[in-house]
Amino acid sequence: AQSVSQHNHHVILSEAASLELGCNYSYGGTVNLFWYVQYPGQHLQLLLKYFSGDPLVKGIKGFEAEFIKSKFSFNLRKPSVQWSDTAEYFCAVMVDSSYKLIFGSGTRLLVRP
């Protein structure tokens, strides 16, 4: 069965620090990859997505992610985090263009001012 692993459950950073959140998936076929963010008290919002083409994807709010097919990874990065980035981040995989998303367990990010 397909699965998504997020290795960091909790991350605490100071403002201006760099961020990298790991995401690995297990599926050998075609995948579309997503990162969603859930700010406190709000619903899920799409940060960025990868369908095809350039494996380095840029999203909103300065986030980017790199798809490395050989490693089955789609890590999220941001060079300099802000306090407002405090949220929970979910990696998700859509297999075979089915529209069905499989989510990772999420990573709670706390950015200290």
Residue from 42, 54, 69, 70 in contact with other proteins (CB under 8 A): 42
CB of 43 to other proteins, least distance (A): 4
* Angstrom distance (rounded) from CA 85 to CA 82: 5
Asked if residue 63 binds other proteins (CB under 8 A), the reply is no
Residue 32 vs 73, nearer CB to other proteins = 32
x/- string (CB under 8 A) for other proteins, residues 90-109? x---x--x-xxxxxxxx---
Which lies closer to other proteins via its Cβ, residue 55 or residue 79?
55
> Do 98 and 92 form a contact (C-beta atoms < 8 A)?
no
The binder of other proteins chosen from 44, 64, 86, 95 (CB under 8 A): 44
Residue number with CB closer to other proteins (16 or 46): 46
User: Is-contact 112 93, C-beta < 8 A?
Assistant: no
CA distances from 43 to 39, 48, 50, 68, 96 (A): 7, 16, 21, 28, 26
Residue 67 makes contact with other proteins by CB under 8 A: no
Which residue's structure tokens are 């997503």? Answer: 34
Closer to other proteins at the Cβ: 18 or 97?
Answer: 97
* Contact residues for 42 (Cβ-Cβ < 8 A; gap 6+): none
